Structure 1
Amino acid sequence: MTVQQQARRLATFGPFIALLLACLFFAAQSPRFLTPENFSLITQQVMVVGVLAIGQTLVILTAGIDLSCGMVMALGSMAMTLLASRAGFAPAMAVATGLGVTTLAGVVNGLLVTRIRLPPFIVTLGTMNIAFALTQIISKAQSVTDLPPLLTALGNTLRVGVTPVAYGALLMVVLYTLAWWLLRETAGGRHVYAVGNNREAARLSGINTERVLLAVYALAGLCYGVAALLSVARTGVGDPQAGQTENLDTVTAVVLGGTSLFGGRGVITGSLIGALIVGVFRNGLTLMGVSSVYQILVTGVLVILAVATDQWSRRAS
């Protein structure tokens, strides 16, 4: 087997093997890890980061990065909850407005990247701070409670065998299935990969690269809006402090899932496995009594290892 073939096999099967090994390790450390209730908790913790990771994957596939995802999610969640609980909006209209806010943020990112040609890192770093400031201003740094049932419905559970599974987790799986189909079976999906591989070559071959990038950032913003609704459903409140670590978590999930930070290579379902790896580590370390500070440290180590593996795989290919 050539080195290139080994690199491809590592990118394909490596995330699943890492998830399996993590589960085996934590199962040996805590008898509570393999309980149905704990698996339910993991899926509820993962569903927010998992949906954010869909948008992040789309952006990274085009050789970009979105540092604003967590703060845009927080802004969308505050827009939904404030409109529904204090402004008298119908719950469905409040949710639609929140989705519109996050999608608009994605469009702004896309326009700055395509029209002004600013680097995605700088653009999304700026919009991250803008979204954070707007979230604090409109919420006055106060949580929003007494939400209508529609906003928390996705936090309810149904039983799959003996394991309670949140409706939001099922929605996450549906969204991953849709994203997988769009990237694999449509011309637009193939254009995303082409732009990530070589933007100039894609342009010369007749692909409207600006339109592709704008659509990617807009879809990413929409995903952040869905994640905002899931965050509200999971916690039962509109939290202005939400989203402050999700940018690192999503990048970690995407890279652990085998998507290259250099663009043009990756599978969307790998990001789901990556999000599960992050969730399993956080959950397992909590069961072991490890401080949350060390959990963040482990997340940082994971993303460095994943990027190093991606770099080795890229050089080998």
Structure 2
Amino acid sequence: MTAALSRRTSLGELLRRAPAIGPALALVVAVIVFSLTTKTFFDLDNMSLVLEQSLVVGTLALGQTLIILTAGIDLANGSIAVLATLLMASWVAAGMPAVLALLVGLAVATALGGVTGGLVTSIRLPPFIVTLGMFSIITALSLIYAGGQSIQVHSGLLSYLGTRRYLFGGIEVTYGMTLGLIMVLFLWYVLTRTAWGKHVYAIGSDPEASRLSGIHVRRTLLSVYLIAGLVYGIAAWQALGRVPNADPNAYQNANLESITAVVLGGTSLFGGRGGIWGTLLGALVVSVLRSGLTQAGIDDLYQDVATGVLVIAAVALDRLARRQQR
């Protein structure tokens, strides 16, 4: 009995130290199950499609991870990305150089992230309330700006990330996927190898203790929201590469889907634990699950049910793990 308890403790400690192990195992199991139960799931074309479908939400989830690590949450990330697509596409259509439109679009997304961060840090409003309000405001502004109509993209630069190449002669990838991987590597580095990253984790674990230890909590939090805003802008660029059409009604559930990817990836909603690689795996788990269930003939509504069950289970396991640590 003691040996069994020790094994369970060791497993729990392993999962706490490396939360990405859980989603990695879930991803492997899902791939194996769907490969055995469907005929085309493991085809190279389908694998490429799974990666492409997870790209935009996965990038939004990277910014969401930074915020959740500080024990916050962002319900406005999808709406920020949609507004950025509309601005970039409309400016190019009006004659602005594509490079300038892209840079200003990224700047607007970053600034909106900064507005959210400023409200959270200066007025100390709860992130849930602030981002819920920002979600409503930005969604309405997007619809007003576009007049409820989509805007076609006629710029090679704005759709550049959708350019396709082939690895090993058969695996289709886009430049957007490559940029996504570069972002994962960069954010992993700054979170795990820099003082800023350590401060982010510390604030998520205990902001008051972080303040007493000399960490500039407000400044660090503001920088987190600014960087997250920039990431959302890059997600907008990726979205225009996937579909060269800026639609004000696109990605309506992207905020919830990005939170799902983060939670399934092992990042704690209570802050201070998790990481970028887990989020990447979480986004792939969601995409694999939807693709496999679709090929198995399962209705979209039941797919939403399955995803919701996974999220609740992941949060429950995280809650139990934190109780055991105490």
Question: Structures share a fold, TM > 0.5?
Answer: yes
Question: Is the 2:69–2:201 contact (alpha carbons within 8 Å) kept by the matching residues of 1?
Answer: yes
Instruction: Summarize deviations over 1:156-191 as a string: whole Å, max 9, x none.
Output: 111111111111111111000000000011110100
The aligned residue for residue 287 of structure 2 is 279
Task: Work out which of the residue numbers 8, 11, 23 in structure 1 matches 2:13.
Answer: 8
Tell me how far 1:89 sits from its aligned partner.
0.8
Task: Work out which of the residue numbers 141, 160, 163 in structure 2 matches 1:153.
Answer: 160
Give the count of matched residue pairs: 316
SS in 1 for 2:159: helix
Tell me how far 1:2 sits from its aligned partner.
6.0
The aligned residue for residue 102 of structure 1 is 109
Gaps of 5+ in 1: none
Question: Is the 2:158–2:237 contact (alpha carbons within 8 Å) kept by the matching residues of 1?
Answer: yes
Q: Which amino acid aligns with 1:6?
A: L
- CA RMSD of superposed structures (Å): 1.2
Counterparts in 2 of 1:201 and 1:234: CA distance versus 1, 3 Å: same
Say if 2:140 is the partner of 1:137: no
Tell me how far 1:299 sits from its aligned partner.
1.8
Tell me how far 1:92 sits from its aligned partner.
0.9
List structure 1 runs of 4+ shifted beyond 6 angstroms: none
TM normalised by structure 2 equals 0.94
Q: Distance in 1 between matches of 2:39 and 2:96?
A: 46
The aligned residue for residue 25 of structure 2 is 17
More off after superposition, 219-228 vs 300-309: 300-309
- Aligned counterparts, 1:50-199, within 5 A: 50-85=58-93, 87-161=94-168, 162-199=170-207
Say if 2:324 is the partner of 1:316: yes
Question: Is the 1:4–1:316 contact (alpha carbons within 8 Å) kept by the matching residues of 2?
Answer: no
Q: Distance in 1 between matches of 2:153 and 2:79?
A: 23
Tell me how far 1:294 sits from its aligned partner.
2.1
Q: Distance in 2 between matches of 1:221 and 1:65?
A: 13
Counterparts in 2 of 1:197 and 1:146: CA distance versus 1, 3 Å: closer
Gaps of 5+ in 2: 1-5
Identity of aligned residues (%): 47
The aligned residue for residue 269 of structure 1 is 277
Counterparts in 2 of 1:91 and 1:70: CA distance versus 1, 3 Å: same
Task: Work out which of the residue numbers 292, 297, 303 in structure 1 matches 2:300.
Answer: 292
Counterparts in 2 of 1:2 and 1:115: CA distance versus 1, 3 Å: farther
The aligned residue for residue 226 of structure 1 is 234
Q: Distance in 2 between matches of 1:44 and 1:186?
A: 30
Q: Which amino acid aligns with 1:80?
A: M
Say if 2:208 is the partner of 1:203: no
Q: Which amino acid aligns with 2:310?
A: L
SS in 1 for 2:173: strand
Q: Distance in 2 between matches of 1:212 and 1:59?
A: 11
Question: Is the 2:184–2:277 contact (alpha carbons within 8 Å) kept by the matching residues of 1?
Answer: yes
SS in 2 for 1:149: coil
TM normalised by structure 1 equals 0.97
SS in 2 for 1:299: helix
